[in-house]
Amino acid sequence: MYDIHKNKTLYLITAPDESQFTGTADGLLAPFGLYPESAARQCRVLFDHKQTEDQKQSYRENHPNTAGGSGKDAGPPGPVQYGAHKGQVLVCYLASLAINSFPLIYDLCDGETHNLLHLRDGFITVWEGLSPTQAYWKLSQLLQQFPEATEKRLRLEAIPEEFQVPLKKLRVLEPSSGILEQLESILPFVPESERVACTQELLAPWLQSSRLPESILHMYN
């Protein structure tokens, strides 16, 4: 389980008119031992935790020394409702699917009520108002379809074809880093014996500006 609440730009959509939309979530389930950025691309279940204003108020009353949240994300009174957060949920879900190699499951919950989303055959199925027992049973049922889900570096080609097709279509929403275009424009003219060194040279400036540990960065110096 990974805490990604503070990672606000993990999931980003670029629309055909070049406008961008950011989706955020609170946690994700992915193979152990990955950086958050890599875990975001190997996500199996994405968790978005929303509390209603009633729940926030109850928390503040029981924890008087804690701020307990601003309530700006709170929906209508009662259990968390998919319809109240539909726009934000869909942006985050589509953005996460656009960069993943797995048809991940989205869980909008408040700790008591769960709303699950799953993409298959080009359609998003939504299960609303599930209890924790119902939600975890459905999650396990969906994940059991994919024995390859435990692989740390799962490739899109490893999942069944009916799940590959919609994910490939969503790739057009992923923002371009520019690196792939550089490689595709340069490497065809570079001798095969020099392509590894050329690739490292192109990646080095980006790696130096990122927050990777020295144990990894030294390999590119």
Positions of the chain with pLDDT under 70: 13, 15-16, 55, 59, 63, 65-80, 83-84, 175-190, 195, 198-199, 201-221
pLDDT of residue 45: 94
Q: Based on the fold, state whether residues 150 and 201 are members of the same structural domain.
A: no
**Full-prediction pTM beyond 0.85?**
no
pLDDT of residue 188: 65
Q: Based on the fold, state whether residues 116 and 16 are members of the same structural domain.
A: yes
pLDDT of residue 136: 94
Count other C-beta atoms under 10 Å from residue 114's C-beta.
25
Q: Based on the fold, state whether residues 76 and 101 are members of the same structural domain.
A: yes
pLDDT of residue 220: 45
pLDDT of residue 30: 92
Q: How many domains does the chain have?
A: 2
Q: Based on the fold, state whether residues 166 and 183 are members of the same structural domain.
A: no
Q: Based on the fold, state whether residues 102 and 188 are members of the same structural domain.
A: no
The closest of 140, 144, 149, 94 to 114, measured between CA atoms, is 140
Tokens found for residue 44? 């199996």
pLDDT of residue 184: 59
Distance, C-alpha 44 to centroid of its chain: 9
pLDDT of residue 71: 47
DSSP E strand stretches across the chain: 2-3, 11-14, 20-23, 27-29, 45-49, 105-109, 114-120, 123-130
Q: Which domain holds residue 196?
A: 179-220
pLDDT of residue 217: 47
pLDDT of residue 79: 67
